Chains A and B, each alone.
Chain A
Amino acid sequence: MDQYALIFRHEDGHKVASPEQIQVWMKQTMDWIGGIAAKNKFVSGTGLPFDGAKIVGHGGVVTDGPFGEIKETIGGLIVVKADSVDEAVEFAKGCPVLQGDGNTVEVRRIARNDGTH
């Protein structure tokens, strides 16, 4: 069984949500992850808060990020176990991030580190 990273991409990091809205999303996200964990397919995961984020560019230029020039941002990721990429995609379809127009979940297999990739 392989492991896959499901990476949440937000189209527009400028949007500011209300605390109530954030709480609803949190619950939805926890229910989604709980559903995966109940199938014994959850490995790990983390949110990536925007506050204090920095972008380090070519030549060591540091800007406050990920806002500013870059619109699309990563909001978090989880790692799941799946028998196939299709199963991982099915998990990704339930991600509450997808309720936001233009948001995406990127599904990437994790290298096995056993030389075979």
Chain B
Amino acid sequence: MEAPELIPNLFRTEYRKIVSVLYKRFGFDQVETAEDIAGDTFLTAAQTWPMRGVPPNPVAWLYNVAKNKAKNYLQRASTFNEKVSPEIQNASSELYETDIDLSPKNINDSQLQMMFAICHPSIPVEAQIGLSLRILCGFGIDEIASAFLSNKETINKRLYRAKEKLREEKVRIELPTPAQIDERVEPVLRTIYLLFNEGYYSLSQDQVLRKELCFEALRLCHMLIENKETNKPQVNALLALMCFHASRFDARFGKNGELILYDDQDTSLWDSDLISRGGYFLNCAATGDQLSKYHLEASIAYWNTQKEDTQEKWENVLQLYNQLLMIEYSPVAALNRTYALAKARSKEQAIIEAEQLKLENYPFYFSLLGELYAGIDNDSAKKNFQKAFVLAKNPADKQAIQKKIDKLE
């Protein structure tokens, strides 16, 4: 790979590692310093690689440069302090220990601790997610802004305020106590799932990037499982859920990047390795007495890996959606539950319930109604598909709906 495309890729995978270690080393008091050093490291790469060529081991090169920059900074700070105030220097000699540990173990530990520090209860959820995308996943401000359907300025402000808050609250970069883990792990899981969805449902045509986002989420979740203290049933359930979804990644797009809906997918493209890994983690999740929404969603996702339309499948899916909605309502779950109702009971029964959902702002609501009316009242089916077509937000969705309309004629 040439330098121009290599550097953004490395930025994606290595920035967060370097910045986590530096954050951990400097604390939230000096976040700007940590970010500057990590950013400078990539700037140096961008300036030297095109001229001198890409080094044989680019990652090691980046780590070395980051280490040296951090060391230089610390030495300067240390010298300054020695001259200005020797007492302070003595009292905090540890702070000026200049070694920067970029070993795989310290990178992992630092990232895990960062996850919990970022998802601290004192900062708003949206800011937690933004900070996670920035620091744990190396997202650019542009990408975060598009993930939140917001603009750069708003996101910058939000991240700035969140960092201020972390400083004010003196949040430590460490794992919560075992008693706090269950409560503190929830926002961490929500953020990981959001990251996954960002990749899975993104409208971006960049398949490689999208897949990378999904596997980043799997990686972060797996990191929680590898640590004894954070290896909780709901964490395993989330990983299972993401494995099941990710198994269809390659089947979801055609040769020209067009979206291929579940019913039309070539099951031979489903990744059976990921499906069995999902099964493994779902088993691991079946401990304790807590049934999280991730357990329910993972179980539903498991049934979706079984393409065959059986009564057993739809009965199970329906009951899982019933339970999921009791824990947490969402319009998507309400629509999917109604589809499962049609499959497990009858279209007629599902139509009665669907008409009461009042989700007229969702294109998928009308797609569902169209689907339910098809074969019963094709006129109504067509009218609903046409409403869905008008509401659909992107060409891929419009195309899929048009196919449904054509089938009716």
Q: Is the interface of B mostly helix, strand, loop or mixed?
A: helix
In the complex, which of the residues B315, B318, B322, B345 contacts A37, with contact meaning CB atoms closer than 8 Å? B322
Q: A27-B319, A35-B353 are in contact. Are A40 and B326 (CB under 8 A)?
A: no
Q: Within 8 Å CB of B318, what residues of A?
A: 31, 34
In the bound assembly, the distance between CA atoms of A33 and B319 in angstroms comes to: 10
Check B337 for interface membership: any CB of A closer than 8 A: yes
In the bound assembly, the distance between CA atoms of A35 and B326 in angstroms comes to: 10
Check B325 for interface membership: any CB of A closer than 8 A: yes
Contact A38 B326 (CB under 8 A): no
* Of A27, A33, A34, A45, most B-chain CB atoms within 10 Å: A34
In the bound assembly, the distance between CA atoms of A40 and B322 in angstroms comes to: 12
Contact B322 A39 (CB under 8 A): no
Contact A39 B358 (CB under 8 A): yes
In the bound assembly, the distance between CA atoms of A90 and B326 in angstroms comes to: 19
Contact A39 B341 (CB under 8 A): no
Contact B353 A37 (CB under 8 A): no
Q: Within 8 Å CB of B357, what residues of A?
A: 38-39
Q: Within 8 Å CB of A25, what residues of B?
A: none
Check B323 for interface membership: any CB of A closer than 8 A: yes
Give min CB distance, B276 to chain A, whole Å: 30
Q: Within 8 Å CB of A39, what residues of B?
A: 334, 356-358
Check A22 for interface membership: any CB of B closer than 8 A: no
Contact B329 A34 (CB under 8 A): no
Q: Within 8 Å CB of B281, what residues of A?
A: none
Check A67 for interface membership: any CB of B closer than 8 A: no
Determine the residue in chain B with the shortest Cβ distance to A32: B322
Check B338 for interface membership: any CB of A closer than 8 A: yes
In the bound assembly, the distance between CA atoms of A42 and B334 in angstroms comes to: 12
In the bound assembly, the distance between CA atoms of A37 and B341 in angstroms comes to: 14
Determine the residue in chain A with the shortest Cβ distance to B352: A35
In the bound assembly, the distance between CA atoms of A35 and B344 in angstroms comes to: 14
Q: Within 8 Å CB of B334, what residues of A?
A: 37-40
Q: Within 8 Å CB of A31, what residues of B?
A: 318, 322, 341, 345
Query: Which residues of B (247-287) have their CB < 8 Å from a CB of A?
Result: none
Contact A34 B321 (CB under 8 A): yes
In the bound assembly, the distance between CA atoms of A31 and B315 in angstroms comes to: 10
Q: Within 8 Å CB of B326, what residues of A?
A: 33-34, 37, 42, 45
Check A30 for interface membership: any CB of B closer than 8 A: yes
Give min CB distance, B303 to chain A, whole Å: 16
Give min CB distance, A32 to chain B, whole Å: 9
Contact A42 B325 (CB under 8 A): yes
Please classify how large the interface on chain B is, using the bins under 10, 10 to 19, 20 to 34, 35 or more.
10 to 19
Contact A34 B337 (CB under 8 A): yes
Q: Is the interface of A mostly helix, strand, loop or mixed?
A: helix
Q: A39-B334, A40-B329 are in contact. Are A34 and B358 (CB under 8 A)?
A: no
Determine the residue in chain B with the shortest Cβ distance to A45: B326
In the bound assembly, the distance between CA atoms of A53 and B400 in angstroms comes to: 56
Give min CB distance, A52 to chain B, whole Å: 19
Contact A38 B319 (CB under 8 A): no
In the bound assembly, the distance between CA atoms of A27 and B338 in angstroms comes to: 15
Query: Which residues of B (312-370) have their CB < 8 Å from a CB of A?
Result: 315, 318-319, 321-323, 325-326, 329, 333-334, 337-338, 341, 345, 353, 356-358
Query: Which residues of A (18-60) have their CB < 8 Å from a CB of B?
Result: 27, 30-31, 33-35, 37-40, 42, 45
In the bound assembly, the distance between CA atoms of A38 and B323 in angstroms comes to: 10
Query: Which residues of A (58-106) have their CB < 8 Å from a CB of B?
Result: none
In the bound assembly, the distance between CA atoms of A92 and B11 in angstroms comes to: 57
Q: Within 8 Å CB of B319, what residues of A?
A: 27, 30, 34
Q: A38-B334, A39-B334, A40-B329 are in contact. Are A30 and B353 (CB under 8 A)?
A: no
Binding site for B on A (CB under 8 A): 27, 30-31, 33-35, 37-40, 42, 45
22 A–B contacts from the bound complex (CB under 8 Å) = A30-B322, A30-B323, A31-B322, A31-B341, A33-B322, A33-B326, A34-B321, A34-B323, A34-B325, A34-B326, A35-B353, A37-B325, A37-B329, A38-B337, A38-B338, A38-B357, A39-B356, A39-B357, A40-B329, A40-B334, A42-B325, A42-B329
Binding site for A on B (CB under 8 A): 315, 318-319, 321-323, 325-326, 329, 333-334, 337-338, 341, 345, 353, 356-358
**Which 4 residue pairs of A and B lie closest in terms of their CB atoms, listed nearest first?**
A34-B322, A37-B325, A38-B334, A40-B329
Given contacts A38-B333, A38-B338, A38-B353, 16 further A-B contacts (CB under 8 A): A31-B322, A31-B345, A34-B318, A34-B325, A34-B337, A37-B325, A37-B329, A37-B334, A38-B334, A38-B337, A38-B357, A39-B358, A40-B334, A42-B326, A42-B329, A45-B326
